[in-house]
Amino acid sequence: MALPSIIDPRKLAQQQALYEGNVAADSLPRFAEAVLAIESPLQARVEFEINQSRKPCVNGQLSITAAVPCQRCLEPVTIEVGAEFALEVVWNEEQAAKIVKRTDSWIVAERQANLVELLEDELLLALPVVSYHAEGGCAADLRELLPAEQQQSTASDNPFAVLAALKKH
Ligand SMILES: [Zn+2]
């Protein structure tokens, strides 16, 4: 099932609507720009409800496969991007500011809103800043091509090297 894009989130919350389905890759132009290629449709489960404070909410789980540049060898690496969100539907910034910290908000100033744009925002937030092939999976290890001097600086720039150092203590 394809997910609807233009929805009335408050009405759906009253109806406790649940959507499980997908969004075609070509409906996600901003996410497409952030990666090398989208390799699967977006799989989504989106649930609308009225929360304990009697406010309309939308909760979702998302998953999509995309190719991004490996930061070690610069060749494409396929990653799965998963996101989970729980948002309270509010009319404006002022209302959003009043929400307890645990919940994020989705500002919907009109009656209707674009669900697909919301899902795309959540995917962009969930996209890792850097990705790597699994150990040994790189097309060519750039470190082997560099002189020893530069290899050392490469090692210290590697965030995993910092983690490894921390683990020793
Ligand atoms: Zn690689």
Asked whether residue 134 falls in the same domain as residue 67, the answer is yes
Measured in Å, residue 103 CA sits from the centre of ligand 1 at: 37
Structure tokens given for 147: 């002189």
pTM: 0.79
Measured in Å, residue 128 CA sits from the centre of ligand 1 at: 15
| Residue 91 lies inside a defined structural domain of this protein | yes
Count how many domains the chain has.
Answer: 2
Structural domain boundaries enclosing 82? 6-138
Structure tokens given for 4: 């609807």
Neighbours of 14 (CB within 10 A): 13
Asked whether residue 97 falls in the same domain as residue 145, the answer is no
Asked whether residue 152 falls in the same domain as residue 91, the answer is no
Q: What is the pLDDT along the chain (169 residues), one digit of tens a residue?
A: 889 999 999 999 999 999 999 999 999 999 999 999 999 999 999 999 999 989 999 999 999 999 999 999 999 999 999 999 999 999 999 988 888 766 799 999 999 999 999 999 999 999 999 999 999 889 875 555 555 555 554 444 555 555 555 555 4
Asked whether residue 72 falls in the same domain as residue 41, the answer is yes
- Triad 123, 56, 98: Cα angle to 5°: 85
Measured in Å, residue 92 CA sits from the centre of ligand 1 at: 44
Measured in Å, residue 37 CA sits from the centre of ligand 1 at: 16
| Residue 162 lies inside a defined structural domain of this protein | yes
Asked whether residue 158 falls in the same domain as residue 121, the answer is no
Q: Half-sphere exposure of 89 toward its Cβ, with a 13 Å CA cutoff?
A: 28
For residue 169, what pLDDT is reported? 45
Q: How far apart are CA 164 and CA 129, in angstroms?
A: 19
Of 6, 45, 44, 37, give the one whose Cα is nearest residue 23: 44
- Cβ atoms of 70 and 78 closer than 8 Å: no
| Residue 54 lies inside a defined structural domain of this protein | yes
Of 81, 66, 84, 71, give the one whose Cα is nearest residue 25: 66
- Report CA dihedral (117, 120, 126, 127) to the nearest 10 degrees: -140
Asked whether residue 26 falls in the same domain as residue 104, the answer is yes
| Residue 50 lies inside a defined structural domain of this protein | yes
| Residue 56 lies inside a defined structural domain of this protein | yes
Measured in Å, residue 95 CA sits from the centre of ligand 1 at: 45
Asked whether residue 65 falls in the same domain as residue 13, the answer is yes
Q: How far apart are CA 141 and CA 74, in angstroms?
A: 10
Measured in Å, residue 22 CA sits from the centre of ligand 1 at: 29
Asked whether residue 41 falls in the same domain as residue 115, the answer is yes
Structure tokens given for 19: 């959507």
| Residue 1 lies inside a defined structural domain of this protein | no
Asked whether residue 36 falls in the same domain as residue 18, the answer is yes
| Residue 112 lies inside a defined structural domain of this protein | yes
Measured in Å, residue 157 CA sits from the centre of ligand 1 at: 16
Asked whether residue 45 falls in the same domain as residue 101, the answer is yes
Asked whether residue 126 falls in the same domain as residue 155, the answer is no
Asked whether residue 54 falls in the same domain as residue 85, the answer is yes
| Residue 125 lies inside a defined structural domain of this protein | yes
Structure tokens given for 52: 């304990």
Measured in Å, residue 75 CA sits from the centre of ligand 1 at: 6
